[in-house]
Structures are given as C-alpha cells and as structure tokens.
Amino acid sequence: MRQKTINRSIDCSGIGLHSGRKVRLTLRPAEEDSGVRFVVVNDSGRHLITPSPEAVVSTQLATTLHNGAAAVSTVEHLLASVRALGIDNIEIELDGSEVPIMDGSAASFVYLLRLAGLRSQTRPAAYLAVTETVELEKDGKYVRAEPYDGFRVDYTIDFPHPLIGRQAMSFELTPEAFARRLAKARTFGFVREVEYLRSKGLALGGSLDNAVVLDEDGVINADGLRFKDEFVRHKILDFIGDTAVLEAPLRGRFEVFASGHGLNNAFVRKLWSESGRCLERVVPGAGQAPSRRPHLSEPLAQPAAAVA
C-alpha cells in the first residue's frame, strides 16, 4: 500500500450552502507525507488549514475547520470523497471560506477526483487502527467502535417524520461502494427550519437544487428521492467525512445511532486523545499490527455506561 495523490490539478465553482456566495475550488496534487491540506485565499493572503480533530471549531449543520487566522466550512462531503478514494495527499484551495455544496451530495467531488486521476507515490501509506472498544454516548445518541480490518459502519437514524422514521444501513467502505451507494445521497432539511436558519445567517445558499427538503408530509423536491433510504445514506457519508479530519485513514467497525457532526467530532476527539491505548498508527511493513481484528459475524460489544 503506497500513498496516493491526484494526477493533475482540476477546478470547479459553486455556491456555499450557508454563505450563499460563489466559491472557486481547485484540487492539486501534493507531495508525499503532506496529507490533506486546505488553502484559503482571502484579502489577507493564503492561509493553510490542516484538518485535525482539534481544528474543528463548529459543527452547526456542517463541519468547520479553523487555524486561528482563517476558517473553512462544509468540508465533510469533500473529505469523505478524498478518504473514500484512498487519496493520502492533496491540496484543496478555495477563494472563499466554504466548500461549495454542489448538488448537496459527494457525487461531484468523486467525479472531479476521478477526472483528475490518481497516481501512486513511493512511500507507504499509514492508517489508524482501532485496537480496543471505545464509545461515546450523549442524550441517547452514541458512536461505538471496535477493531476491524477495514472501515465498516452500522448506522441507525430515527426521525419523527412519516417519510424518514427509523432507517438502518450497514456499509463497508471501498471506492466503488462509496461511489455507487453513498456519493449521490444528498443533505436534507425541513421547511419549518428554513426561516430560523436564515435568520442566523445559515442556509443562505440552500435550495431544492442542493438539498432534499421536507414539509410535514414528505419531500417537496420535484424529482423526489435518489434512494428510498437516502437519509441514512447521507448520514453515513457525513460520518466518513467527519472521521477524515484524522491524519490518516481510520480502520475499525463503527456502530452509530442518531449521531450528527457534533457527536461525530466529540467521538473522534476522544479516539485521538486515547492514541496508544485504543488507537494505533500502523505503517504496513514496519512490523506494526492492531492487537485484534474481529470477524464480520462477531457482535459489537453491548453499550457501557454513558461517557460524559
């Protein structure tokens, strides 16, 4: 397993979901061991932002990164695409403070990255392996992880809406599965929340072109849903993106119930803070290996006491 980057630069433009402003996005190849990095260009210059659990400063309806001088928000769909396609090193430049929402899914980013092409580099690609059970629970919502040789998510949502209700999905992350089963799943919201969000300066760029919007009875988008369970698929997409703020791909088996950006980030912070006990950095060929990797048929551990 060698590190990968994209083969050539590629760019696009789109609207920021929350800012409503047009943003140009440029994706560039990056050198080995440089990781994923954002470059925000504004009136005060070029600002480098490196994703990390601690760099997340807001999770209100999206994930926002900050380096003390500049910020970039709504990063989760692009980060999920980068991680899903196995890209280790890439530079993401923006002439604004928000990644464009495109059609509300990750499909456009997968298309752009594949159009740019991928190429292998010379150094081995590291990954972060969950080595012990770790969990975080808050208000009945939880994320639980166990060792696993891959990235598997068993996700359940429960919304008090007649079209959503309780939906569950199991997903094993591969580039092909992500492109086919998750990438087209769009972000969603409710008509009753729109006026409030816009009063807070949020969702200013939101429309039926970049989100699934629901009233009290169903979807108001003329083209309906792309999947019957599009809602839980998008939540898994978000979870992959929120865990991609770690410095390397994560390996583990995750059981998630009713989580969102806030709990996702709190869980990643907990996982990262316990590196060495329940999280191990592995470089293939360097003699490291996770302590235990259960088979798919093994049940996840039963919930433990809530973690504050």
Residues 184-238: pLDDT tens digits? Answer: 999 999 998 887 888 877 788 999 999 999 999 999 999 999 999 999 999 999 9
Residue 262 and residue 141 share a domain: yes
The residue from 109, 124, 139 where one domain ends is: 124
Least confident among 22-31, 38-47, 249-258, 292-301 = 292-301
Report whether pLDDT(304) > 60: no
| Chain center to CA of 121 | 24
Nearest in space to 265 (alpha carbons), one of 43, 45, 54: 54
Residue 105 and residue 137 share a domain: no
Report whether pLDDT(153) > 80: yes
pLDDT at 56: 98
CATH of the domain at 256: 3.30.1700.10
Longest dimension (CA), the chain: 56
Q: Is 161 considered catalytic here?
A: no
pLDDT at 203: 81
| Mean pLDDT confidence for 11-23 | 93
Residue 83 and residue 174 share a domain: no
Residue 227 lies in a domain: yes
The residue from 90, 124, 158 where one domain ends is: 124
Residue 59 lies in a domain: yes
Residue 294 lies in a domain: no
Distance, CA of 123 to CA of 289 (rounded, Å): 18
Give the whole-number percent of the chain exceeding pLDDT 90.
Answer: 83
Nearest in space to 267 (alpha carbons), one of 276, 279, 285, 282: 279
pLDDT band at 302 (very low <50, low <70, confident <90, very high): very low
The residue from 88, 104, 124 where one domain ends is: 124
Residue 262 and residue 132 share a domain: yes
Calculate the average pLDDT of the chain: 91
Report whether pLDDT(290) > 50: no
Domain count of the fold of the chain: 2
Distance, CA of 56 to CA of 39 (rounded, Å): 16
Residue 171 and residue 78 share a domain: no
The residue range of the domain holding 176 is 127-282
Residue 208 and residue 63 share a domain: no
Residue 298 lies in a domain: no
| Mean pLDDT confidence for 119-138 | 98
Residue among 47, 77, 261, 295 flagged as catalytic: 261
pLDDT band at 298 (very low <50, low <70, confident <90, very high): very low
Residue 295 lies in a domain: no
Report whether pLDDT(255) > 50: yes
pLDDT tens digits along 159-181: 999 999 999 999 999 999 999 99
| Mean pLDDT confidence for 43-54 | 96
pLDDT at 307: 29
pLDDT band at 286 (very low <50, low <70, confident <90, very high): low
Residue 213 and residue 150 share a domain: yes
Q: What's the count of helices (H) and strands (E) in the chain, helices before strands?
A: 6, 19
Global pTM reads 0.91
CATH of the domain at 75: 3.30.230.20
Structure tokens at 150: 């891959």
DSSP E strand stretches across 55-211: 56-58, 64-66, 71-72, 90-94, 118-124, 127-130, 134-138, 141-146, 151-159, 165-172, 188-190
Give the whole-number percent of the chain exceeding pLDDT 70.
Answer: 93
Residue 132 and residue 233 share a domain: yes
Nearest in space to 263 (alpha carbons), one of 234, 237, 242, 241: 242
